[in-house]
């Protein structure tokens, strides 16, 4: 006889794609037992007992929450049952359905014990939220058919640390900047394309290539293109235009820039994120209208997410 426990882990409401590195290799403390299945030799569901031996101490994600599956031997034989958060008993079939749903979700991960938890960041960046931004741009905007939520989510998988702490403010800050830079996802490339932006002498520039702003964060400069290409996996030196052609790479460049230069100063206030992105042009009283537009967007998103924007909004 085997007891199968599905226990909620101490993973707070910040759980999201980043739950994988957050939980990996760390001790798990059990809290409320949500699922208690007991299988015995006299029952038709004996296979469940064999399965639990295999999946002991495995992680699953059910309905956006992280759980630990483990077995326990001993005790009296009982009939299969299920108890939810409210202490309500659910039918044996429903209990088994939850077990196999957990196994199915676990099988979708690449490494045993890893968790893919679509929570928090993706709960905030809903299709309605994302499309609502694009709907503010004119129908003629090239970006309306280029920037998609699916591309953002795919790119997000490569940056699990994004939104790991202070999730709502980080998502609000990121989208405040990218919607400012692209005018509500209207523009893919910078308007002024005459300047090649070969501005970093320690990096080369390819003949005939221009490193002007492209993508959600308007990645600019030969150095940024080369470093982003190395990190993401495209030729930033010879093919900077990839950022304007591949929507996933485009969002990856924005997240790469954010995690490389901006993420670490988020706790210093939104104003510091402005300084990291466009400080020389906007901070210290310069281009105040641009600063105010970023702040307006940030505070609006914070309000939507139900979080205080915090201090030091300007730079």
Residue count of the chain, please give it: 315
Residue 112, pLDDT score: 35
| Measured distance CA(34)–CA(67) in Å, rounded | 9
User: Which residue reads 């939810």 in tokens?
Assistant: 84
Residue 315 lies in a domain: no
Answer yes or no: 181 catalytic. Answer: yes
| Measured distance CA(301)–CA(232) in Å, rounded | 28
Q: What angle do CA 29, 35, 38 make, to 5 degrees?
A: 110
Residues 29 and 163 in one domain: no
- pLDDT tens figures, 216-271: 999 999 999 999 999 999 999 999 999 999 999 999 999 999 999 999 999 999 99
Residues 78 and 144 in one domain: no
Kindly give the interhelix angle for 167-182 and 270-282, rounded to the nearest 10 degrees. 20
Tokens of 276: 């990291």
Evaluate whether 199 touches 212 at the Cβ level (below 8 Å): no
Residue among 181, 189, 190, 272 flagged as catalytic? 181
Look at residues 166, 178, 173 and name the one whose alpha carbon lies nearest to residue 133. 178
Task: Single out the residue in 85, 107, 129 at which a domain terminates.
Answer: 107
Residues 12 and 131 in one domain: no
CATH number at residue 140: 1.10.530.10
Query: Is the pLDDT confidence value at 61 over 50?
Result: no
Residue 264 lies in a domain: yes
Task: Look at 89 and 3; give whichever has higher pLDDT.
Answer: 89
| Measured distance CA(165)–CA(32) in Å, rounded | 24
Residue 76 lies in a domain: yes
Residue 63 lies in a domain: yes
Residue 155 lies in a domain: yes
Residue 39 lies in a domain: yes
Query: Is the pLDDT confidence value at 31 over 60?
Result: no
Residues 80 and 149 in one domain: no
Task: Provide the domain count of the chain.
Answer: 2
Tokens of 76: 């009296």
Query: Is the pLDDT confidence value at 85 over 80?
Result: no
Which of 3-7, 17-21, 272-276 holds the top average pLDDT?
A: 272-276
Classify burial at 163, counting beta carbons within 10 Å of its beta carbon; exposed 0-12, middle 13-18, buried 19 or more.
buried
Question: What 8-state DSSP symbol labels residue 7?
Answer: E
- When pLDDT is cut at 50, 70 and 90, the band that residue 155 belongs to is very high
| Measured distance CA(155)–CA(251) in Å, rounded | 6
Q: pTM of this prediction?
A: 0.66
Query: Is the pLDDT confidence value at 127 over 80?
Result: yes
Tokens of 134: 């694009």
Residues 137 and 74 in one domain: no
Owning domain of residue 31: 2-107
Strand order from edge to edge, sheet including 33-39: 33-39, 2-8, 65-73, 58-62
- pLDDT tens figures, 132-144: 999 999 999 999 9
Residue 97, pLDDT score: 60
């Amino acid at each position: 006889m085997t007891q199968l426990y599905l226990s909620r882990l101490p993973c707070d409401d910040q759980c999201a794609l980043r739950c994988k590195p957050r939980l990996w290799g760390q001790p798990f403390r059990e809290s409320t037992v949500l699922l208690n299945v007991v299988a015995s030799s006299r029952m038709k569901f004996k296979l469940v007992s064999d399965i639990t031996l295999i999946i002991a101490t495995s992680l699953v994600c059910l309905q956006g929450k992280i759980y630990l599956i483990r077995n326990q031997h001993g005790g009296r034989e009982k009939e299969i049952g299920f108890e939810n958060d409210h202490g309500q008993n659910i039918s044996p079939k429903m209990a088994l359905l939850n077990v196999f749903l957990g196994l199915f979700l676990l099988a979708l991960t690449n490494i045993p014990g890893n968790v893919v938890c679509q929570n928090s960041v993706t709960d905030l960046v809903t299709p309605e939220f994302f499309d609502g931004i694009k709907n503010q741009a004119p129908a003629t905007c090239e970006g309306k058919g280029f920037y998609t939520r699916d591309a953002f989510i795919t790119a997000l998988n490569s940056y699990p640390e994004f939104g790991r702490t202070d999730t709502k403010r980080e998502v609000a800050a990121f989208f405040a900047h990218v919607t400012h830079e692209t005018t509500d996802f209207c523009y893919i490339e910078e308007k002024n394309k005459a300047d090649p932006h070969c501005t970093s002498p320690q990096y080369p520039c390819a003949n005939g290539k221009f490193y002007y702003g492209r993508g959600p964060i308007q990645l600019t400069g030969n150095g940024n293109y080369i470093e982003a290409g190395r990190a993401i996996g495209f030729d930033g030196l010879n093919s900077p235009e990839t950022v304007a052609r591949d929507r996933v790479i485009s969002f990856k460049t924005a997240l790469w820039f954010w995690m490389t230069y901006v993420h670490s100063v988020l706790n210093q206030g939104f104003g510091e994120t402005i300084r990291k992105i466009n400080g020389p042009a906007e901070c210290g009283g310069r281009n105040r209208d641009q600063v105010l537009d970023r702040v307006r967007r940030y505070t609006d998103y914070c309000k939507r997410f139900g979080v205080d924007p915090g201090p030091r909004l300007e730079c």
